[in-house]
Amino acid sequence: VNEARRPRSYEFAGLVRSAHQEMSTAQRLAGWHALRRRTLGHERRLRRWRLAGAGALLVALALTAGVVIGRSLASSPLKYSISAGEVGEGGQLRVDAAGGVLHFSDGSELRLGAALHGRLISVTHDGARLRLSDGEAEVSVVSRPNANWELVAGPYSVAVRGAHFEVAWHEREQTLRLSLRSGTVNVEGPLATDGITLYAGQVLTIRKPEGEIVVRDIGAPETPLPARAPRTELSWSELLTEGRFNAVVAQAEARGFSEVLSHANSADLAALADAARFSKNSAIAERALRAERARFPESAGAYDAAFLLGQLHEAKAPSGSEAESWYETYLSEAPAGAYAAEALGHKMLVVERRSRRAAIAIAREYLERFPDGAYEKNAQAILVPPQP
Amino acid sequence: LQRREPWAAEAVWKRYAPSVYGLLARGLGRGAEPEALTQEVFLRSFTRIRSLEEPAALRSFVYSHAATVLRRELRRRWLRRFLSRNRRTVTSDEAKWLLDRPARLVLARLYDVLDQLSPSERVIFSLRQLEGLSYPELAEVLGKSVVVAKRKVARVSGRLEVLVRCDPLLDHYVAQPRLCEAERQEGA
């Protein structure tokens, strides 16, 4: 370093060097032994870490293998067997005279009626698909996460996650009847294109030719249908079944709404109300429903019209008193009717939108009457609101 | 060392331990425990010896680990001072050391001033001005180019120059270093 240009701080170097003693021989020797000890200790620790790492890797590999094996086992299809019958080629079900039972490895089983015609379409790891072409069956599907069962009864599809029910499809009469003991199922098909969710304790009857869907509680009396004269053109119920809602409204308009509302029978009025509701024409729907109530008082259609009027008004004003009033009307006229649980549940929700306190009594009544109902959680939430 | 010859580690220790010890002792100043830190430098060097590509650069390799350990120790001290809010702690041994030789008062002031440098700056000061490493050696130890090493040294020297000028005792010592010559020789 050039002395002339050297920074003045270099002056300190000599002072610093003179202040510190160099490493002595004894220090060097002791330091070497200490370093040996530290090196050995370090190598031991390193070996231990490597062993631990290898162990962790083995555990991770074992876990991964376990998961892979578990998944492959879980994804293998359910096993099944049939007693008092056989599963023929293409899954064709043949049942003995006294009926047979189809058992699945997850515990689900189907008791097949004697005259049943059906087919086991497919079996997967989380369920099965069956076709019921004609006959009756008692179905018991064990509830499991991701359970996915489908029963195709005639043109109807019954989706099941976990439920116990009796189902009958009569090909000749084109009638479906499903009596749900526990769980929930969803039925889709003609007349029920948006799907109907059934809850425990309900019976669904669909008469396709008559265009009639009835949901009632198990044990409630079934209203017999009047005999119908053969027709050449499609009835409004049939048009409704085919989803031709606008055609129904157009025909009513062509005949004159006043004429229709004054003279059409109960089924046509109900079909017109449904067609108008489905085509978002709530004014015509309300007129048809009111006409049905006025002209056929004391009938099941009139009672149902009260519930449907409640639905119409709830859509317009979700917390309105008119909707509440119609639900009350339905509940007073048909306390055990098909829509009783729905009506009480909706009444509770309408009132809750105005005041939770006011809905408490209705929630208590709902839980008492329908402890397993669709609005059970809503009722519980009203009684015990969730903590923020 | 790379071939794990049993004699190699001891040979490297014997060859470089004194200079590493000196670097750490002088770089840290008062309160230093250079023995344990010297061992740590060699432990680091031995466990990372596979990363040494050019065997001829072994000295710089060991010095670069010494610089790392020195920097880390200075940072630890800086943090301790910062947390205790006490920039200057004088132990009883140190007080005795200070009183033994009047010239060492200058040394104590110097370390006070050095404490005002960042750990990285102080490492550069130690390597260049106290240990006398050449610019190529310093560049190798720091893992920088020679140009960058020179620029860093210039910056540290400039900073230290200002700090020394602001300290009356150090400024006086630098202006008339011969006044303390006798004391320095006595200390040596």
Three-state SS at A111? strand
pLDDT of residue B103: 65
Phi, psi at A49, each rounded to 5°: -65, -40
pLDDT of residue B52: 85
Q: What is the DSSP letter of B70?
A: H
Count of CB atoms situated within 10 Å of the CB of A344? 24
What are the pLDDT digits (tens) for A313-336?
998 889 889 999 999 999 999 888
Tell me the C-alpha distance between A361 and A348, whole Å: 9
Helix axes A25-74 and B8-28, enclosed angle (nearest 10) = 100
Please name the residue that has the structure tokens 């010559």.
B181
> How confident is the model over A210-234, as a mean pLDDT?
68
Encode chain B (188 residues) as per-residue pLDDT tens digits. Answer: 777 777 788 888 888 898 899 899 888 887 677 888 999 999 999 988 888 888 788 888 999 999 999 999 888 888 877 776 554 544 444 444 444 455 667 788 888 888 888 889 999 998 988 888 889 989 988 888 999 999 999 999 888 888 888 887 777 776 655 444 444 455 44
Query: Please, are residues A191 and A213 in contact by the beta-carbon 8 Å criterion?
Result: yes
What are the pLDDT digits (tens) for A344-385?
999 999 999 988 899 999 999 999 988 887 888 889 889 887
pLDDT grade, residue A3 (50/70/90)? very low
Query: Please, are residues B170 and B113 in contact by the beta-carbon 8 Å criterion?
Result: yes
Given a cut of 60, whether residue A85 has pLDDT beyond it is yes
Chain A nearest-CA distance from B161, in A, is: 6
Q: Could you tell me the pTM of the whole model?
A: 0.41
What are the pLDDT digits (tens) for A336-353?
887 888 899 999 999 999
pLDDT grade, residue A183 (50/70/90)? confident
Distances (CA, A) of A259 to A236, A287, A294, A370, B74: 16, 12, 15, 41, 101
pLDDT grade, residue A219 (50/70/90)? confident
Given a cut of 80, whether residue A111 has pLDDT beyond it is yes
On whether ipTM exceeds 0.85, the answer is no
Contact B39 A34 (CB under 8 A): yes
Q: Is B98 on the interface with A (CB under 8 A)?
A: no
pLDDT of residue B57: 84
3-state helix, strand, coil in chain B (%, to 5): 80, 0, 20
Q: Is residue A29 within a helix (H) or strand (E), and if so which, with residue range? A: helix A25-74
Query: Please, are residues A151 and A130 in contact by the beta-carbon 8 Å criterion?
Result: yes
pLDDT of residue A257: 87
Would you put residue B108 in left (φ > 0), alpha (ψ -120 to 50) or beta? alpha
Q: Which residues on chain B are in Cβ contact (under 8 Å) with A42?
A: 43, 47
Three-state SS at A208? coil
Q: Which residues on chain A are in Cβ contact (under 8 Å) with B18?
A: 22-23, 28
Residues 6+ apart with CB under 8 A from A136: A113, A116, A166, A167, A168
Q: Picking from A58-62, A241-245, B22-26, B181-185, which range would have the lowest pLDDT averaged per residue? A: B181-185
Chain B nearest-CA distance from A60, in A, is: 28
Residues 6+ apart with CB under 8 A from A107: A142
Q: Which of B14, B39, B94 to mutate to test the interface with A (most CBs of A within 10 A)?
A: B39
